[in-house]
Amino acid sequence: MNLTVKQRVGLELQRSLRRTQEQLHPLKTLFWECTLRCNMNCRHCGSDCKVAPAVKDMPAEDFLRVIDTITPHVDPHKTFIIFTGGEALLRDDLEQVGLELYRREYPWGVVTNGFLLDEKRLASLMASGMHSITVSIDGFEEQHNWIRRHPQSFEKASAAIKLLAQQKDLLWDVVTCVNPRSYPQLKEFKEYLISLGVPAWRLFSIFPMGRAANDPDLQLTDEQYRGLLNFIKDSRENDPRIDASYSCEGFLGPYEQRVRNHFFYCRSGVEVASIRCDGAISGCTSVRSHMDQGNIYKDDFWDVWQNRFQTMRDRSWAKKGQCKDCKVWRYCEGSGLHLYDDDGDLLVCHYHRIKSN
Amino acid sequence: MRIKFLKAKNWLLLALMGLLGFSSCTKMMYDCPPDEYRGYNDSVVDKP
């Protein structure tokens, strides 16, 4: 399977679009890593977070102070703020922060493992203006509890999803990290999610970072990886009951626009920023700390966003190693930044995985 | 002026992509914000 003429035309347009976006760098998404505390101990955790982490939760007023410096420069209606962690719902002041964002007219959302999302908590989040919520569930009970290392995690995540399915006026979806244990049951698991009322399902493959870096059992083989993409492609073409899509990572060659609603383009530092628990300013939260661009306790966030981030907006430095002579470089530009190690080397190339037969 | 030009170019590229049937927005919740702010939730108790 090769790129079609139509795909190439679209990719060229996307490339031009990316160039203008790099110059405009509109801040569309801001992640707040509001805690590194977590009530689980997931095998695939990219944050490598802990029950009692070394970094304390960022005080809410510190984050809101940054928001107030950003507000004059952005249209709050077009800047989406996402609370992530750790497990964001472990913070009991999340609703207060959310309400403050709501008053400033920012849409905001939460990414959660669902463990603490009961009826009361959901009502209180909704009453604080929550706009969206994402629940992680990685497979059926056996696979999910294995990867989460918690015996009740599946039951709680399923209960949270059932609650969300009853809500109106809320944007929500489910994310699944596909691994060799859950891969064989993808079809059945999709039926399960549909039975719970899930409208949208994002599927990830686990990238070698955090704890997953040292666990080869979590990585799909190249054949399984292609199988995952074919599964999503087939679902999108033939099953309107659920909007399945692949995550944002990596250029996928012939699968472009077939497994996602959009062409690949790493938005980290171009449209997406994050404020980590320790105050670090970065692009996407999954990008390693050596790419941090500043710190809210030392720098002005907006000044950093406007004047730094060059390494994320100009990816020419990534044209090395396996990317140096790659024929799809112009469309990929070095894949997702979260796939780079501390030395700035690409850990995994999805395009090569697809091409390897 | 430069910003206006870039925004116009952006708009044209998006329009062209749309005409060719390509989506440029991810429609994923935290990769791309909603095209339009969906307004306030009716359930919010403390409206601004």
What is the spatial order of strands in the sheet that A272-275 belongs to?
A243-246, A200-205, A171-178, A132-136, A108-112, A80-84, A29-33, A272-275, A280-282, A294-295
CA neighbor of B9 nearest in space, from A82, A16, A322: A16
Q: Which of B20, B30, B45 sits opposite A29 (nearest CB)?
A: B30
CA distance A220 to A7: 27
Output the average pLDDT for chain A.
92
Which chain B residue has the Cα nearest residue A246?
B28
CA distance A321 to A356: 17
A261 close contact with B: CB closer than 8 A: yes
CA distance A194 to A183: 17
Is the pLDDT score of A278 beyond 90?
yes
Residue A245 DSSP SS3: strand
Of residues B20 and A61, which shows the higher confidence score? A61
For residue A307, which amino acid is it? N
C-alpha distance from B22 to closest chain A C-alpha (Å): 7
CA distance A114 to A137: 9
Q: What percent of chain A has pLDDT over 70?
A: 96
CA distance A43 to A10: 38
Q: What is the pLDDT of residues B1-48, one digit of tens each?
A: 888 999 999 889 888 888 888 876 544 444 444 444 444 444 454 443
Q: What is the pLDDT of residues A72-81, one digit of tens each?
A: 999 888 888 9
Q: What percent of chain A has pLDDT over 90?
A: 76
∠ CA(A82), CA(A214), CA(A139), 5° rounding?
55
SS (H, E, C) A167-208: CCCCEEEEEEEECCCCHHHHHHHHHHHHHHCCCEEEEEECCC
Q: What is the pLDDT of residues A292-314, one digit of tens each?
A: 999 999 999 999 999 999 999 99
Residue A59 confidence class, pLDDT cut points 50, 70, 90: very high
Choice among A19-28, A253-262, A311-320, B17-26 with the minimum mean pLDDT: B17-26
CA neighbor of A346 nearest in space, from A16, A329, A204: A329
Contact A153, A40 (CB under 8 A): yes
Q: What is the ipTM of this complex?
A: 0.78
Mean pLDDT score, A176-196: 96
Q: What is the pLDDT of residues A214-225, one digit of tens each?
A: 677 888 999 999
Number of neighbours of residue A60 by Cβ within 10 angstroms: 16
Mean pLDDT score, A34-48: 83
A35 close contact with B: CB closer than 8 A: no
Query: Looking at the DSSP assignment, which residues form a beta bridge with residue A178?
Result: A205
C-alpha distance from A65 to closest chain B C-alpha (Å): 19
What is the DSSP-derived secondary structure letter of residue A289? G
Q: What is the pLDDT of residues A96-128, one digit of tens each?
A: 999 999 889 888 999 999 999 999 999 999 989
What is the DSSP-derived secondary structure letter of residue A150? -
**CB-CB under 8 Å, A202 with B13:** no
Mean pLDDT score, A196-221: 84
Residue A325 DSSP SS3: coil
Of residues A312 and A209, which shows the higher confidence score? A312
C-alpha distance from A243 to closest chain B C-alpha (Å): 10
Burial call A124-147: b when 16+ CB within 10 Å, e when fewer: ebbbbbbbbbbbbbbbbeebbbbb
Give residue A50's pLDDT: 56
CA distance A281 to A302: 10
Give residue A48's pLDDT: 52
Task: Give the CA dihedral B19, B22, B27, B32, nearest 10 degrees.
Answer: -90
Is the pLDDT score of A14 beyond 70?
yes
Q: Best residue in A19, A29, A236, A249 to probe B by mutation, most B CBs within 10 Å? A: A29
CA distance A338 to A336: 5
Which residue reads 């090395």 in tokens? A320
CA distance A182 to A228: 11
Give residue B32's pLDDT: 43
